[in-house]
Amino acid sequence: MTVKIVNLKVNGVDKALMAKPETTLLLALREHLGLMGAKRGCAQGACGSCTVLLDGDPVVSCLVPAVAVDGAEVGTVEGLADGRTLSDVQRAFVDGFATQCGFCTPGMIMSAEALLERNPDPTDDEINEAISGNVCRCTGYEPIVSAIRDAAATRRASAEARV
């Protein structure tokens, strides 16, 4: 069994870790880099609790061997807030009561962030599709969809204000 050095740029910062063959990107983030935001809910790619951005795209990090993504850029929920200032999506989740137990929240937020990067004004249907891989068992999807809608509006308003 070979242990390999894996280099990642995580939330903009260069990191290196020693990965075993079975070390998934999820375990690399959690157990090697101490970033506990992404969760292990199923290790099957089915629940989305481990969703992070891999080179900008949301992926289920439990299905990605860490050694396969050496050199990649990874974005996690820990990288969203600027100090104590939350991202628009995070803020909308707090204000809109889009969290309950909180376990699905980091993955859900990463999927939402990725959606709004590509599509600043999504329809509800597009929001539903974007979070269809993120299972929530307690909050209910309605407040989550509505929080994402609110975050999109806030982002559009601040984009306009900047112009």
- CA proximity to 154, closest of 91, 98, 88, 109: 88
Specify the stretch interacting with other proteins by CB under 8 A; choose among 7-15, 60-68, 155-163.
60-68
Contact between 131 and 146 (Cβ < 8 Å)? no
CA 115 – CA 152 distance, rounded (Å): 10
Binding region for other proteins (CB under 8 A) out of 10-18, 21-29, 154-162:
21-29
Shortest distance, CB of residue 163 to other proteins, whole angstroms? 26
SS3 72: coil
**Smallest distance from other proteins to CB 72, Å:** 10
Residues 75 to 104: which contact other proteins by CB under 8 A? 76-78, 80-81, 86, 90, 93-97, 99, 101-104
Shortest gap between Cβ of 95 and other proteins (angstroms)?
6
CB 95 within 8 A of CB 147: yes
Interface residues for other proteins in 101-160 (CB under 8 A)?
Answer: 101-107, 109, 111, 114-115, 128-130, 132-138, 143, 150
CA distance 70 to 85: 31
Query: Distances from the Cα of 131 to the Cαs of 108, 120, 140, 146, in angstroms?
Result: 7, 15, 12, 12
> 84 vs 162, which CB is nearer to other proteins?
84
Residue 17 interacts with other proteins (CB under 8 A)? no
The smaller minimum CB distance to other proteins, of residues 30 and 155, is found at 30
State the burial class of residue 84 (Cβ atoms within 10 Å of its Cβ: 0-12, 13-18, 19+): exposed
Query: What track of x and - describes contact with other proteins for positions 30 through 49 (by CB under 8 A)?
Result: xx--xxxxxxxxxxxxxxxx
Total residues in contact with other proteins, by rule CB under 8 A: 74
